[in-house]
Amino acid sequence: MAEHTWRRKWIWLGGALVAVLLVVSGLARWRGPVVPAYEVAARPLVQNVVATGRVAALSRVEVGAEISGLVLERRVMEGDRVARGDVLVVLRADDLEAQRDAARAALQALRQAERPDAQARLRQAQAQLAQAEREATRRRELGEKQLVSREMVEQAQQAVVAARAAAEQARLAAAALSGGAREAQALEQLRAAEAALERAVIRATVAGTVLVRRVEPGDVVSPGQVLLELARDNPGELLLPLDEKNLSRLQVGQDAVCEADAWPGRRFKATVHHIAPAIDPARGTVDVRLRIDPSVDFLREDMTVTATILTGEREQALVVPNDALLDDDPGRQSGQVLRVRGGKVEAVEVELGLRGLAMTEVAKGLQAGDVVLAVGSRPPGERPQPGTRVRTRAQPMPAAPAGAARKDRSLPAPIAN
């Protein structure tokens, strides 16, 4: 009898336990599953666009030969800095030197021999003209007294005309050799010969750095052949191909902090100064140029650099973590979140503002203290549906990027471009 009573007690206890479990399970099912969630709050927010590009010179200058010749000297190497007018390459130009010497000798002969001779001829012609004029005057007076024939008077007058013409010719010849056409022609020939000889000495037309050399002593070069390439000295640039989805965030004048792969830890400042007017259809990118701080002197042409462009900043903004946004598309300014009120899930349309590394600004649709589910990264079939009941498990808000509220624009944590 006692054994029977003991068995009945165990049956009652087992039934009660099953009933309790059923009640607890039903209550839990009624209250819904436990889902991670965030409480919406206001905090500092920084929006960045990060991209990798390369160092680009504002312009490259190709230095070429203007004449044919044999290279005697090459005075620069890659990496050498040159000033405007510095000698880069010297060509052999024996024939041009001969032409210059001949032109110089011709000018010297004109000034030292031909010009004095012409001036002497001019003085002689002027003296002959004066003598002819005096003789004509005498014969005219004698003719008036009928002491000489009329024919002799006319001959004296013709002699004056001939002497005057000879004097004029001598004057023109002397003038041509004394700063006139002949001397000007000789000077021009000398200048042309010297200019041709100067082209045998190839000089830098701009200040810059030698990037490429394509000539060695002993090479024979021809007109138009590129011998060297120079990078013009100017504030350097960074050329960044950015995804076109970031175009709406970019503006000329935005600050950036950059870091070269070759110099990790040596950050430097840059500024957006040009945004290409067209999109590359093959890559879906837009070229953005950043002007580098002139004090940066350790960069090299085509060096790889990562730039973090600060495109927006809020001292205080109402934010939600990015994994609370459903089907998040960085190119859209609206989105949807799952908010929990009274234990039930509801879908809420939100208007978005700045987008940061881990958080996004909510301009409209939510208030501080609202609870949103951290299910944006889950497939749609695994998300709680609107109208269902859930229990929330509070998740800490993601940490704000370093330097989010600082005014020195130091490099914050990057966002993938």
Give the model's confidence band at 121: pLDDT under 50 very low, under 70 low, under 90 confident, else very high.
low
Taking the CB of residue 30, how many other CB atoms lie within 10 A of it? Answer: 9
Per-residue pLDDT at 232: 75
Write the pLDDT tens digit of every residue in 70-110.
888 898 998 888 888 899 988 887 666 666 666 666 556 55
Contact call for residues 53 and 238 (beta carbons, < 8 A): yes
Q: What percent of the chain has a predicted confidence (pLDDT) above 90? A: 11
Q: What percent of the chain has a predicted confidence (pLDDT) above 70? A: 73
Q: Is the per-residue pLDDT at 249 higher than 90?
A: no
Contact partners, residue 112, CB within 8 Å, separation at least 6: none
Per-residue pLDDT at 415: 33
What DSSP assignment string belongs to 264-312? TT-EEEEEEEEE-SS-BTTTTEEEEEEEEPTT-----TT-EEEEEEEEE
Write the pLDDT tens digit of every residue in 360-416.
888 888 888 888 888 877 787 778 888 888 888 888 877 654 433 333 333 333 333
Q: Is the per-residue pLDDT at 25 higher than 90?
A: no
Q: How far apart are CA 90 and CA 88, in angstroms?
A: 7
Per-residue pLDDT at 305: 93
Give the model's confidence band at 18: pLDDT under 50 very low, under 70 low, under 90 confident, else very high.
low
Task: Please give the angle made by the CA atoms of 349, 350 and 356, to the nearest 5 degrees.
Answer: 140
Give the model's confidence band at 253: pLDDT under 50 very low, under 70 low, under 90 confident, else very high.
very high
Write the pLDDT tens digit of every residue in 167-211.
777 677 666 656 556 666 666 776 776 777 777 788 888 888 888
The residue among 248, 285, 256, 257 whose CA lies nearest residue 272 is: 256
The overall average pLDDT reported for the chain is 77
Q: Give the mean model confidence (pLDDT) for residues 230-244.
A: 82
Write the pLDDT tens digit of every residue in 138-171.
777 777 777 777 778 677 778 777 777 877 776 7
Per-residue pLDDT at 271: 92
Predicted TM-score (pTM) of this structure: 0.50
The residue among 96, 94, 65 whose CA lies nearest residue 203 is: 65
Q: Give the mean model confidence (pLDDT) for residues 56-83.
A: 84
Per-residue pLDDT at 401: 47
Give the model's confidence band at 34: pLDDT under 50 very low, under 70 low, under 90 confident, else very high.
confident
Per-residue pLDDT at 405: 34
Kindly state the greatest CA–CA separation across the chain. Answer: 200
Q: How far apart are CA 204 and CA 228, in angstroms?
A: 10
**3 state SS of 358:** coil
Contact partners, residue 303, CB within 8 Å, separation at least 6: 54, 55, 260, 261, 262
Per-residue pLDDT at 416: 32
Task: Please give the angle made by the CA atoms of 315, 318 and 323, to the nearest 5 degrees.
Answer: 115
Q: Give the mean model confidence (pLDDT) for residues 214-235.
A: 84
Residue bearing the bigger pLDDT, 365 or 19: 365
**3 state SS of 143:** helix
Q: Give the mean model confidence (pLDDT) for residues 333-362.
A: 85
Q: Is the per-residue pLDDT at 129 higher than 60?
A: yes
